[in-house]
């Protein structure tokens, strides 16, 4: 067991503020994780994740002590969380920049094959989708099949064209990219 499981337990079972200590343990910044581990170890007296969870589950005093430690160090906890969020956002930004650099590099490549590959794939995707939908819906209308085009297969076929047009993923459209 690792400390992130202790963090998940604390986030799910502690009050609103103390749940932030759990967030420290489930993050990916070593300093923040160390701060969270230190607070949990001080509250429980356990040096292992297994011992800490056991103590938090079986001893209400340990959870109270953790709450006291949280309130005494609230500013530090929030600072660590802000650092974690900043690192996450910077990582996402760097990933986006790299994707855009790669795409732009292909768009201005001197090799015509490289420059035309993405647009060609998008057109082929579009044509395949149109052919599939019209073909299978026409076959259904002529009673050759009992089922026409399915939404799932049509979405798979249209995916490259949609990506080329900038519709990358549903989570980005909905703003759920976390």
pLDDT digits (tens, 9 = 90+) for 66-106: 888 888 877 888 888 888 889 889 998 998 888 888 878 88
Is the same domain home to 69 and 133?
A: no
- What span, in angstroms and rounded, lies between the C-alpha atoms of 45 and 5? 17
The ranges of the chain with pLDDT < 70 are 17, 167-178
Measured CA to CA, the distance from residue 133 to residue 139 in angstroms comes to 10
In a domain, 32, yes or no: yes
Does residue 150 share a domain with residue 81?
Answer: no
How far CA 157 is from CA of 108, 117, 171, in Å, comes to 27, 17, 19
Q: Residue 95: inside a domain, yes or no?
A: no
What local confidence, expressed as pLDDT, does residue 5 receive? Answer: 83
Q: Would you say residue 85 lies in a domain?
A: yes
98 domain-assigned: no
Maximal C-alpha separation, the chain: 75
Inside any domain, residue 64: yes
Residue after which a domain boundary falls, among 90, 121, 145: 90
Residues 132, 82 share a domain: no
With a threshold of 0.75, does the pTM exceed it?
no
Q: Collapse the DSSP code of 76 into the 3-class scheme (helix H, G, I; strand E, B; otherwise coil) and give the result.
A: helix
Has residue 51 been placed in a domain? yes
Residues 63 and 115 in one domain: no
Last residue of a domain, one of 26, 59, 90: 90
Domain of 152 in residue numbering reads as 109-174
Distance, CA of 35 to CA of 65 (rounded, Å): 15
Do residues 77 and 44 share a domain? yes
Q: Please tell me the total count of domains within the chain.
A: 2
């Amino acid at each position: 067991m690792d400390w992130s499981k202790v963090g998940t337990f604390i986030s799910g079972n502690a009050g609103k503020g103390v749940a932030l200590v759990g967030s420290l343990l489930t993050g990916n910044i070593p300093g923040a994780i160390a701060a969270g581990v230190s607070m949990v170890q001080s509250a429980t007296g356990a040096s292992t994740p297994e011992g800490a969870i056991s103590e938090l589950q079986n001893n209400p005093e340990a959870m109270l002590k953790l709450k006291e430690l949280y309130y005494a160090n609230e500013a530090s906890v929030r600072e660590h969380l802000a650092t974690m969020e900043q690192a996450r956002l910077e990582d996402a930004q760097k990933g986006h920049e790299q994707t855009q650099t790669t795409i732009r590099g292909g768009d201005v490549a001197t090799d015509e094959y490289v420059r035309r590959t993405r647009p060609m794939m998008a057109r082929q995707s579009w044509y395949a989708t149109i052919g599939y939908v019209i073909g299978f819906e026409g076959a259904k209308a002529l009673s050759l099949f009992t089922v026409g085009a399915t939404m799932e297969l049509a979405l798979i076929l249209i995916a490259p064209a949609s990506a080329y047009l900038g519709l990358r993923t549903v989570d980005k459209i909905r703003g759920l990219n976390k």
